[in-house]
Each structure stands twice: as structure tokens, then as C-alpha cells.
Structure 1
Amino acid sequence: MSERPLPLKAINRFFEGKEPWQIVTITASSVLAIVWTHSLYNAKESVPARLRKEFFRWLRQVPFVRRKIEEKMAEIKKDFKKDVAKRLSGMTVYRHLPKDGFTAEQVAEEIRKHLVLGSYDWKGGNVSGAVYHVNEDISRVACEAYALTAYTNPLHADVFPGINKMEAEIVRMSVNLFNGDEECCGTVTTGGTESIMMACKAFRDLAYSRGITNPQMILPATAHTAFDKAAQYLGIGIVTVPVSTETYTVDLNAVKRAIGRRTCMIVGSAPNFPYGTMDDIEALSDIAVEYDVPLHVDACLGGFIAAFMTAAGHDMPLFDFRLPGVSSISADTHKYGYAPKGTSVIVYRKHQYRHHQYTVSTEWPGGVYGSPTVNGSRAGGLIAACWATMMFVGRARYVQMTDEIITTARYIEAEVRKIEGLFIFGKPATTVVAFGSQRFDIFKLADELHKKGWSLNTLQFPSGIHIAVTHAHTQSGVADRFIADLQSAAKICLKEGSEPVQGKMAIYGVAQSIPDRSLVSDITKHFIDSMYYLPKPEDSDE
């Protein structure tokens, strides 16, 4: 009879002389520890992130800490409500349907009142991004198209085949702009977030079909937060890789190291939202081909600018289907495609990928049900307005507007580089110019610009602000006015030195210094709550 293997001998010696209850306890504890360790490894978040969350969750249970947090949150909620009440001061708040409906004239007058409640002159070009053109002829054509088709629904293809045709043509025109072939395909969505979510859903399900039960996607730290939203909705793990502190583009070696058996997709930005820099899509394509992993290019922000830049005489590296590793591209028609808000496209190299985007139910009593995107019923009016915009603007005008925008963006970039105390993050690829300071609190500069009527985007990790140049900024004198105000604000900040910003803008600096990110999350949720808050007469006394 052969001797027992050494591991069994060691186990027997370990349990020798122990009571049965001790053996059971040790065994159960060991199994639980193994299961816990396995869950950490296979979790959607990294082990350090989960441990950090657990620590702060425990800390928030301490009575003294919990009480202080609750007091501060109550104060923050009250401040948010005060801000809303101030903005809506003098407005009638409607909590019930009117007994008798308004006349058309009354409705129009009420809408006009609501449109002027904001603090910024967006038509005058004082806002970063948000509204991408102010051309009345384009707006008129789009709005007329929407009015004609407002009650159509492409879900009912037999009732509204013309809307389906328009959607198919938007997709095909987009595919051609991104140099795809006849095999390339896609859908129209309600915006960049849905386009990104659909790509994540497609490649998650592709991973499932390949036997990967807990897929992960590899994201640059600068990838749009919509990927994190997709991960939360779809149960996909995230591996975040750093970007260069010089170029603010993704670290290619870090991408390679992050690839593993669970990888379902790699993401590259063209450009990214925070800094406007563009990841090396050509190198990412090579990595995607080498490791047989789909590469999604997020061109939501700048895709409909980047597609025309070469024709407009501006440099633009390859980022589209000419690169063999590019599996999908998201691009927003409601940004530099100039369509009304609510449309974007997601396009794929293969029909196989788009099939994984679809949702099909075959056992429902209501019949076999299939839908291409998140929504079932969709706004045919938005599809028609997008189609009308693209057909009305046409290639030549897109090229012309692209040249005007990029020329303005490069002018602003060059002038910002001359301003004492400021530096540019990396090399702007399309329309976003991001800047920071090592001489003063950059949020103080944002506050000074706010006082002058400018609304810019604030950045964190590291601190910065950016302007996304739109066609509104190409209006006569707007860029020069922005530079003059920026120079003036920078002088004020240099004079005051390293004193931190005060007031509302201070929250941006404070937020990124809070180690417990769940607190920042709670504050953000209270801010979102305030967007749905309607003041009551008795609230004015608070």
C-alpha cells in the first residue's frame, strides 16, 4: 500500500488532537476565506477599490462620524434648494394640470420665460460645448422636420417605413464618413451614452458567446464616464489604465499588461472629453489585432469634426475603420453633426457585433419582440431631424464649418499658451483646449471667468478647466473676448497667489480631496435631486 501524499500527511498532523467542532470550524472558515478571495479576484472592481470602500463604509457607521456626515449633508441639500429657489424666483410653479388648457399663445409665452432662466448667454458663445451651433437656417430645417414627424415611431416599421429608411441612411452616411465598407453597420441612438452602452453590451455578449462569464473592459483613465455607467448597468468589470502625464494619452504598455482572459474590449478616445487629447488609435489597433480583442473608438465628442479635418486642411491621425483593429465607433450627431439634442450613432465593422447589441424576447405572450437599442418606442421625429440636418448641411458646409471651428480652437490654444501662469494639457486634437496652473488655484480662475459670464468645464485629478470650442465661438469677436477675459482673470489670480478659491467653485477643489468617494457620490445625488425640486411658498422662509 502506497504512502499518503505529503500534503495529506501535513493536513493530518495539523488536525491531530483537535476536537470535531474545531475541525469543522477551521474547515468552514477556510472555505469562506477561499470564496471571499475568489470573489475579490472576480469582482467588477479592483481589490484595493473594494477594500477602500469597505473601510469607509465601516467608518461611516461610527455614531460620531455618521452624525457629522448627516449634519453636513442636510446643510448641502438646503443650499442646493436655495439655489433652485433663487433661479426660479418670480416664476409660477405648476403642481397640477390647469383646469382649462392654455392657449397656444400662452404655452409659447411660458416656454419663452423658461428659456431665459439660465445665467449664461449660450447664443453669444459664452458656454463651453453644450450648444454646437447657432445657425438659424440649420435649426429651422431641423425643427420643421421634427414637427412633421413628431408622432412617428420606427418600432412600427410597417407603419413608418420612411423613418426606418432615414435611420438606415444616417448610419450608412456615418459609416462612409468613417471609411467603413459595405459590411459595416450600426444604429442611431439617443446620445453618446447610449451609443457607448450599446457597444459595451455588444462586446459583453460577444464575450459571453466565447465562454467568458465575467468580462472586463480596459479603459484609459480619461475615457468618458459613460463607460462606467455601462459597467454599472451591464455588470461589466473595469480595468483602468493610466495616461501619460505629459501627453495625456493612454499608456500603451499599461494596456498590454491589463489584457487577460476576461478582457472583452479595449477603449480609445478620439478625442477624450477632459483634455481633448487623442489616444494613439493606430497603436491600439495593433494591440487589438495582436490579442484578438475588439477595440471601440469613442469619437462621441469630436467624431463629426475629425471626419472632416483632413479635407479642411488640418492634421488628423487615423482613428477609423481604415485601421484593422477598430471594431466599433461611437459619434454624436447632436454635437458637431449639428442635429438637435437626442441623436448619436454607433457603428460596427461586422453585422455579428450589431447582432449582439440587439435584445430579442421570443417567449412573451405579446409576441416575439426585438429592439435594436435600449428603447422600444423611439422618437421618429429626432431621427428625421438628424437626417434633415445632415442632408441640409451637406459635405461642403461640414468641411467649411470644421475649418472655422478648428482655426478658432487653434487660435485660442496659441493665445492661452502665452498667458502667464497657465499651461495646456497635452496637444489638443480637435476642439477641446484644457488648461491648468501651477501658480494659483485654477478653480479661482474659473470663478473669475464665471463672473465675466463664461461657463467652462471643470476637471479633476489633476485640477483644470477646459473650453470645448463650437461654431458659436467662431462668431465675430467671441474668441478675442474670451482671450481678453482669460488674460484679465489670470492677472487677478496671479496677484492673489496661492489663496484657495472661495464660494461655490470651492466645491470642485474640495470634492477631489475627499478620500471617501461615496461622500462625493452622495453630494452628487443630492444635486441631481435638486434638479427635480419645485419650491413651495413656505420654502422661502427656510
Structure 2
Amino acid sequence: MSERPQPLKAVNRLFEGKEPWQIVTMTASSVLALVWAHSLYNGKEAVTTRLRKEFFRWLRQVPFVRRKIEKKMAEINRDFKADVTKRLAGVTIRRTLPEKGLSAEEVAEEIRNHLSLGTYDWKSGSLSGAVYHVSEEIAAVACAAYSQTAYTNPLHADVFPGVNKMEAEVVRMAANLFHGDEDCCGTVTTGGTESIMMACKAFRDLAYSKGISNPQMVLPSTAHSAFDKAAQYLGLAVVVVKVNQETMTVDVDDVRRAIGRRTCLIVGSAPNFPYGTMDDINALSDLALECDVPLHVDACLGGFVAAFMPDAGHPVPVFDFRLPGVASMSADTHKYGFAPKGTSVVLYRKPEYRHCQYTVTTEWPGGVYGSPTVNGSRAGGLIAACWATMVFVGRSRYVTMADEILTVTKYIEAELRKIPGIFIFGKPATTVVAWGSRQFDIFKMAELLHKKGWSLNALQFPSGIHICVTHAHTQAGVAERFVADVREVADTCLRTNSGPVQGKMAIYGVAQEISDRSLVSDITKYFIDSMYYLPKPEDKV
């Protein structure tokens, strides 16, 4: 008789002399430990992240800590509501329907009043991003198209086939801009976030079809937060890869090390939102092919500028479907496509990927139901307004406007590099210029620029601010005024200790120092709550 294998001998020795209940207990405990270890390894968050969250969750249960947090949160919530009360002082607050409807003139007047409530003159070029052109000519064409189609719904293809045609043409025009072939396809969405979510949904379902039960995405830390939103909605795991602190682009070797058997998608930005730098899409494409994983290129912010840069005389690295590893792209028509807010495109190299984006219900009593995007009913007016904008502007004017925007961007970048006390993050690829300081609190600079009428974007990890240059900034004197104000404020910050940062910018600074990120999340939720807050008559300004 053959001798027992060594592992079996070891097991027998382990259980030798044990009572049956002890054997059962040890076996059950071992199985539970293995299940726990497996769940820990396959969780949607890294082990260290989950342990840190669990520690802070426990800490917040300590009575003294809980009372202190609740007191501070109540104070923050009151401050947010007080800001709204101050902003809406003297404005009619409507909590119920008017007994008799307002006249058309009264409605128009109230809308004009509502648009004047903001702090910034958004038509003058004082905003970073947000409003991408101020051409009354383009706006008139888009609004006329919307007014004709406001009540259409492309879900009903038999009723509104013309709206479906316009959507198909928007997709095809965008695919051609990004050098997609005849198989390249996509859909119009309501914005960059939905475009990104649709791509994540498509490649999650593609991973499911390949037997990957718990897919994960590999993202640069600078990838848009819409990917994290998609992960939360779609139950995806995320692996975040840090970027090089000099170039502010992702290290491709680090991405390679992060790819595993569960990877359903890797991401590159062209450019990223915080710093305006462009990841090495060419190298990521090669990696995608080597590892047989899809690569999504997020060109939501600058795609409709980058597409025209070569013709406008501004070089840009290849970032689109000319690279064989690029499986999908997202680009916002409501940014540098100059369409009204509420449209974007998500594009795929082949129809198989787009099929994974769709949702189809076959057993519903209401009939077989299929929809291409998150929405069922969709705003045909927005699609028509986007189509009208694109065909009205046309390629040559897009090229001209891109050149005007990029010329101003390069002027601002060059002038900011000359200002003592600040430095530029990386190499701006399209229209975003980001800067920081090693000599003073950069959020103090943002606060002082805010007082001069500039609305800029605050950045964290590391601290910085950026301006996203739009066609509104090409108006006469805007760029020069901006540079002069930055130079003056930088000089003030270098010469004086002008006190602590106040308001929203103070929150950005403090938020980075809070180890328990769930507290930052709670503060953000209170801020979002305040957007829906209507002051009561008894509220004091």
C-alpha cells in the first residue's frame, strides 16, 4: 500500500487526539477565514482603504467625538443655508403654484431676475470653463432649433425619425473628427458624466460576458470623478494609479502593474480636468493591446478643441481612434462643440461594445423595451440644438475658434510662468492652465482673485487653481486683465500675510487635511442640500 502524501500526514497530525466537536470547529473556522480573505482580496476597495474607513467609522461612535462632529456639522450646515439666504435676499420665493398663472412677460422678467442673482458676470469672460462661448449668433441658431423640437422624443423612432437622423449624424460627425472608421459608432448623451458612465457600463457588461464577476477599472488619480460616480452606480471596483508630480501624467508602467485578471477597462485623459495635461495615450494604447484590455480615452473637456488643433497650427499628440488600442472615447459637444448644455457623445470602435451599453427588457407586460442610454424618454430638443450648432458652425469656423482659444491659452500660460511665487503644473495640452505656489497659500490667491471677479477652479492633492480658457476669454482685453490681476495678487500674497482664507476656498484647504474622508463627504452633501434650500420668511440675512 502506497504511503500517504505529506500534506495528508500533516492534516492527520493536526487533528490527532481531537474531539469531533473540535475538528468541526477548526474546519468551520478555517473555511470562514478563507472566505473572509477571499472577500478582502476581491473587494471593490483596497484593503487599506477599507481598514481606514472602518477605523474612522468606529472612532465616530465614541460619544465625545460624535458630539464634537455633530456640533461642527450643524454649524457648517447653518453656514451653507445662511449663504443661500443672503444670495436670495429680496427675491420672491415660490413654495406653491400661483393661483393664476403668470403672463409670458412676467415669466420672462422673473427669469432675467434669476439669471442676475449670481456673483459673476458670466458673459464677460470671468469664468473658468462653464460657459464656452458668448456668440449670440450661435446661441440664436441653437435656441431656434430647440424651440422647434422641445417636445420631441427620439425614444419614439416611428414618430420622430428626423430626430433619430440628427443624433446619428452628430455621432458620425464626431466619429469622423476622431478618425473612427465605418464601424465606429456611439450615442449622444446628456453630458460627459453620462458618456463616461455608459462606457463603464459597456465594458463592465463585456467583462461579465467573459466570466469576470467582479470587474475593476484602472484609473489615473487625475481621471474625472465621473469614473468614480460610475463605479458607485455600477458596482465596479477601482484601482487608482498616482500621476507623476512633475508632468502630472500617469506612469504607464504603474498602469501595467495595476492591471490584473479582473481589469475591464483602463483610462487615459486627453486632457485631464485638474491640470490640463494629456496622458501618453499612444503608450496606453500599446499597453491595452498587449494586455488585451479596453482603453477609454476621456476627451470630454478638450476633445472638440484637440480635434481641430492640427489644422489650426497647434500640434497635439495623437489621442484618438488612429491608435489601435483605443476602444472608446467620450467628448462633450456642450463644451468646445459650443452646443447648449446637455449633450455629449460616447464613441466605440465597434458595435459589439455599443451593444453592451444598451439595456433591454424582454419580459415586461408593456412590451419589449430597449434604450441606448440611461434615460428612457430623451430630450429631442437638445439633440436638435446640438446638431444645429455643429452644422451651423462648420469645420472652418471650429478651426478658427480653436486657434483663437489656444492663442489666448498660450499667452496666459507664458505670462503666468513669468510671475514670481507661482509655478505651472506640467505642460498644458489644450486649454487648461493650472498653477500652484511653494511660497504662499494658493487658496488665498484664489480668494483675492474671486474678489476681483474671477471664478476659478480649486485643486487638491496638491493644492492649486486652474483656469479653463474658453472662447469668452478671447474677447478684447480679457486675457490681459486676467494676467494683470494674477500678477497683482501674487505680489500681494508674497509681500503680506493677509490673514486666513475665508469662504469656499477655506473649505478646500481644510478638506485636504481631514484624514477621515467621510467627513468631507458629509460636508459636500450639506452643500448639495443647500442648492435645494429655499429660505423662509423668518430666516435672517
1:279: how far off? Answer: 0.3
Partner residue, 1:378: 378
Q: How do residues 515-526 of structure 1 correspond to structure 2 at under 5 angstroms?
A: 515-526=515-526
Does the 8 Å CA contact 1:199/1:346 hold for their aligned counterparts? yes
Distance 1:536 1:435 in 2: 41
Q: In structure 1, how many angstroms separate the alpha carbons of the residues matched to 2:32 and 2:458?
A: 45
Distance 1:500 1:437, change over 3 A: farther
Contact 1:133 1:471 in 2 (8 A): yes
Tell me how far apart the structure 2 counterparts of residues 46 and 540 of structure 1 sit (CA, whole Å). 46
Partner of residue 494, structure 2 = 494
- What residue identity is the alignment partner of 2:63? P
Assess if the C-alpha contact under 8 Å between 2:285 and 2:323 holds in 1. yes
CA apart distance, 1:15: 3.4
In 1, Cα distance between equivalents of 2:157 and 2:540? 51
Is 1:344 aligned with 2:314? no
Deviation digits for residues 424-463 of structure 1 (CA, Å, limit 9, x no counterpart): 0000000000000000010000001011111100000000
Match of 1:416 in 2: 416
Quickly say closer, same or farther: Cα 1:499–1:14, change in 2 above 3 A: farther
Aligned residue in 2 for 1:444 = 444
Find the aligned partners of 1:11 and 1:435 in 2 and give their Cα distance. 63
Partner Cα distance (1:533, 1:29) in 2: 52
User: In structure 1, what is the equivalent of residue 129 of structure 2?
Assistant: 129
Residue 47 of structure 1 pairs with residue 47 of structure 2: yes
**What corresponds to 1:248 in structure 2?**
248
Q: Deviations over 1:28-53 (max 9, x none)?
A: 33222211111111111111111111
- Other-structure match for 2:270: 270
Which residue is 1:212 aligned to?
Answer: 212
Deviations, residues 4-23 of structure 1 (Å, cap 9, x unaligned): 33333333333344444444
Query: Which residue number in structure 1 is paired with residue 64 of structure 2?
Result: 64
Q: TM-score normalized by structure 2?
A: 0.98
Q: Is the 8 A contact 1:297 1:330 kept in 2?
A: yes
Q: Secondary structure at the match of 2:329?
A: strand
Alignment-derived partner of residue 162 in structure 2:
162
SS of aligned partner of 1:539: coil
Query: How many angstroms apart in 1 are the aligned matches of 2:177 and 2:96?
Result: 48
Q: Determine if contact 1:360/1:371 at 8 Å carries over to the other structure.
A: yes
- Partner residue of 1:311? 311
Shift of 1:258: 1.1
5+ long unaligned stretches in structure 2: none
Q: How does 1:297-308 map to 2 (within 5 A)?
A: 297-308=297-308
Q: Does 1:330 align with 2:342?
A: no
- Displacement after TM superposition at 1:376 (Å): 0.4
SS at match of 2:508: helix
Segment of structure 1 superposing worse, 46-55 or 460-469: 46-55
Tell whether the 8 Å contact from 1:163 to 1:384 is kept in structure 2 after alignment: yes
Question: What are the superposed Cα offsets for residues 307-355 of structure 1, whole Å, 9 maximum, x if unpaired?
Answer: 0000000011100111111111100000000000000000111011101
Query: Does the CA contact (< 8 Å) of 1:329 and 1:348 recur in 2?
Result: yes
Equivalent residues of 1:439, 1:498 under 8 A apart: no
The aligned residue for residue 472 of structure 2 is 472
* Secondary structure of the corresponding residue to residue 279 of structure 1: coil
| 1:173-226 deviation digits (Å, cap 9, x = unpaired) | 000000111110110000000000000111111111111111111101100000
Task: For residue 328 of structure 1, give the secondary structure of its aligned residue in structure 2.
Answer: strand
CA distance in 2: counterparts of 1:323 and 1:504, whole angstroms: 42
Residue aligned with 2:308, SS:
helix
Alignment check: 8 A CA contact 1:440 1:499 kept: no
Aligned to 2:538, the other structure's residue is in SS state helix
Q: Distance in 2 between matches of 1:324 and 1:124?
A: 42
**Maintained 8 Å contact 1:191/1:343:** yes
Say which SS state the counterpart of residue 246 (structure 2) adopts. Answer: coil
Structure-1 residue corresponding to 2:180 = 180
Aligned counterparts of 1:64 and 1:33: Cα–Cα separation in 2: 34
Give the Cα separation in 2 of the matches to 1:78 and 1:401. 44
Mapped to 2, the partners of 1:504 and 1:266 lie a distance apart of 33
Cα pair 2:449 2:485 within 8 Å, conserved: yes
The 5 Å alignment of 1:344-363 reads: 344-363=344-363
**In structure 1, what is the equivalent of residue 528 of structure 2?**
528
Quick check: 62-71 or 410-419, which moved more?
62-71
The verdict on how the C-alpha distance between 1:70 and 1:59 changes in structure 2, with shifts beyond 3 A counting, is same
Counterpart in 2 of 1:94? 94
Structure 1 residue identity aligned to 2:342: G
Structure 2 residue 37 is the aligned partner of structure 1 residue 37: yes
Measured against aligned partners, the alpha-carbon deviations of 1:134-190 in whole angstroms (never above 9, x if no partner) come to 000000000010000000000000000000000000000000000111110110000
Q: Pairwise mapping of residues 219-230 of structure 1 onto structure 2 (< 5 A)?
A: 219-230=219-230
1:500 positional shift: 4.9
- Alpha carbons 2:458, 2:505 under 8 Å: kept: no
- Which secondary structure state, in structure 1, belongs to the residue aligned with residue 130 of structure 2? coil
State the AA in 2 paired with 1:134: V
Matched with 1:402 is 402
- SS state of the match for residue 264, structure 1? strand
* Contact 1:440–1:498 (Cα < 8 Å) also in 2: no
Cα offsets for 1:481-520 (capped at 9, x unmatched): 0001101110111112596534442111110110110000
Q: Which moved more, 1:236-245 or 1:377-386?
A: 236-245
* CA distance in 1 between partners of 2:484 and 2:57 (Å): 47
Query: 2:66, 2:11 → 1: CA distance?
Result: 46
Q: What displacement does 1:236 show?
A: 1.1
Q: Distance in 1 between matches of 2:82 and 2:472?
A: 32
SS at match of 1:90: coil
User: Which amino acid is 2:395 matched to?
Assistant: R
* DSSP-derived class of the 2:327 partner: strand
Alignment map for 1:427-466 (pairs within 5 Å): 427-466=427-466
The CA deviation at 1:91 is: 0.6
SS at match of 2:214: coil
Hey, what does 2:82 align to over in structure 1? 82
Distance 2:201 2:496 in 1: 50
Give the fraction of aligned pairs with identical amino acids, expressed as a percent. Answer: 78
CA contact 1:180–1:322 (8 Å) conserved in 2: yes
Deviations 1:95-118 (CA, angstroms, capped at 9, x unpaired) = 001111111011101101100000
Aligned residues: 541
Amino acid corresponding to residue 369 of structure 2 in structure 1? Y
SS in 1 for 2:330: strand
> Which sections of structure 1, spanning at least 5 residues, go unmatched?
none
Structure 2 CA distance, aligned partners of 1:338 and 1:366? 39
Call closer, same or farther: CA 1:89–1:239 in 2, change over 3 Å: same
The structure-2 alpha-carbon separation of the partners of 1:110 and 1:469, relative to structure 1 and needing over 3 Å to count, comes to same
Deviation at 1:291, TM superposition (A): 1.2
> What residue number does 1:144 align with?
144
